[in-house]
Structure 1
Amino acid sequence: MQSRQLNRRQYFNELATTSEKYFIPYIKRYRQVGKGTKVLEIGCGDGGNLLPFSRMGCDVVGVDMAEGRIRDARKFFQENGAKGRFIASDVFLLKELRHQFDLIVCHDVIEHIDDKEEFMHKCKQLLKTRGG
């Protein structure tokens, strides 16, 4: 394990930078993202990927099965004065999240999923009709 993965704050900041510099510009090539966009990250860990979306005015929700990561996400968002909702759960058990999101982010997650086709089917259920 690399030292940046042991230092959760450093890792959070690195993910936020990567998201801001690379993910968001790429996504913006295909769809509008900004104030009011509802963004879900599945497997959000400490929430670093979501910080730039929150700063843009997006409504962000992060879900991760690791309670410790969710605690860190809440703490890091609070330290950054950012808004976000973080839930420790299997995202597919949260029926209230169905058809709520414009955009789903999965970073370093899909490679851990055995049944990718079923995963994508379940993700589609979380998107609004025109989500991506």
Structure 2
Amino acid sequence: MQSRQLNRRQYFNELATTSEKYFIPYIKRYRQVGKGTKVLEIGCGDGGNLLPFSRMGCDVVGVDMAEGRIRDARKFFQENGAKGRFIASDVFLLKELRHQFDLIVCHDVIEHIDDKEEFMHKCKQLLKTRG
């Protein structure tokens, strides 16, 4: 593990920068993203990827199975004056999230999934009709 991954605040900030500089411009090539866009990150960790979306006025939800990462996400968002909802759970157990999102972000997650086809099928259930 690299030292930057041990310093959670530094890692949060690096992910936020990467998301703002690369993820969001790429996504904007294909769909409008902004105020009111509902964004879910599966495996959100400390939530750094979601910070720029929140700053743009998106409604962000981060889900991660690691309770410690979710605690950090809440703390880092609060320190940044950002809004976001963070849940420690297996996202696919949260039935209330079905058909809620315009966009799903999975950064450094899919490579850890054994059955990728089933994972994508489940992700589709979380998206709105045109998500």
TM-score band w.r.t. shorter chain: over 0.9
How many angstroms apart in 1 are the aligned matches of 2:128 and 2:26? 21
* TM-fit CA distance, 1:41: 0.0
Deviations 1:54-74 (A, max 9, x none): 000000000000000000000
How many angstroms apart in 1 are the aligned matches of 2:24 and 2:100? 20
- Which structure 2 segments of 5+ residues have no match? none
Deviations 1:65-103 (A, max 9, x none): 000000000000000000000000000000000000000
* TM-fit CA distance, 1:116: 0.1
How many angstroms apart in 1 are the aligned matches of 2:102 and 2:46? 21
* TM-fit CA distance, 1:126: 0.0
Q: Any idea what SS the aligned residue of 1:87 has?
A: strand
How many angstroms apart in 2 are the aligned matches of 1:89 and 1:107? 17
* TM-fit CA distance, 1:35: 0.1
TM-score (structure 1 length as normaliser): 0.99
Deviations 1:13-36 (A, max 9, x none): 000000000000000000000000
- Which structure 1 segments of 5+ residues have no match? none
Q: Any idea what SS the aligned residue of 2:23 has?
A: helix
* TM-fit CA distance, 1:2: 0.4
Identity %: 100
TM-score (structure 2 length as normaliser): 1.00
How many angstroms apart in 1 are the aligned matches of 2:49 and 2:75? 15
How many angstroms apart in 2 are the aligned matches of 1:59 and 1:123? 18
How much is the aligned-residue C-alpha RMSD, in angstroms?
0.3
Trace 1:27-106 onto structure 2 (pairs within 5 A): 27-106=27-106
* TM-fit CA distance, 1:111: 0.0
How many angstroms apart in 2 are the aligned matches of 1:6 and 1:124? 33
Aligned to 2:117: 117
Aligned residues: 131
How many angstroms apart in 2 are the aligned matches of 1:67 and 1:4? 20
User: After TM superposition, which residue ranges in structure 1, 4 or more long, deviate above 4 angstroms?
Assistant: none
